[in-house]
Copies of this chain bind each other. A is one copy, B any other.
C-alpha cells in the first residue's frame, strides 16, 4: 500500500457537504495524531461564502516538528465526499499526493493518484447509519496513508463517539481499512 512517511509535515483536507461529518473527522484525525501518536497537529475550518452554500471542509496538518503555519497550501491527502469538493481542491494536490473519493458521489476527477471507494455505501451497509460515513472515510484515509497509527485512530474515534456507539464506529472504521486493502492502488 502507498504509505507516506509521517516524519515532517503532512497536509490533509477532508471535504464534502454539510451533514457528512467532515469537521468531526478532522478533529478525530488531529486528536489521533496529537493525543495518541504524540505528534503535533493543527486542525482548521475556514468558512467563506461557500459555507453558506452547504460546502464543508476540514484541514489537518500533522508533524513531528512544531507547526508554524496551520494552513494547508497543497494537500498530501485529500478526501472528497462531493463532486464540488473534488473539483475545488484537486488542483492544489501535491504531485505525489493521494486523493480518496466517494465513487458514488464523485464522477469526474482530474488528479491521477485517486482511489475510488464507495464510502457512503459502505457506511450504510456496515452500520445501517449513513452518519458513520466520516468514520469509514477515516479508516480509508489512515489505511491508505498510515498518517497516524491504526491504534491511535481507533482510540480517537472511540473517545469522540457518542455514548453507546463506540462499537458501530469501530466497525465503520474497520470497513474503511478493509476497502483500501482490496482497492486499486494508484501509482
Contact = CB atoms under 8 A, between A and B. Distances in A.
Interface residues of A, number: 24
Nearest to A67: B46
A42 B45 CA distance: 6
Nearest to A42: B46
B70 A47 contact: no
> From DSSP, what is the main secondary structure of chain A's interface residues?
mixed
A15 to B, nearest CB: 15
Interface of A: 23, 27, 30-31, 33-35, 38, 40-48, 51-52, 66-67, 70-71, 162
Q: What 10 A-B pairs come out closest when comparing CB atoms?
A: A34-B47, A41-B47, A44-B44, A42-B46, A43-B45, A34-B51, A35-B52, A35-B51, A40-B48, A30-B47
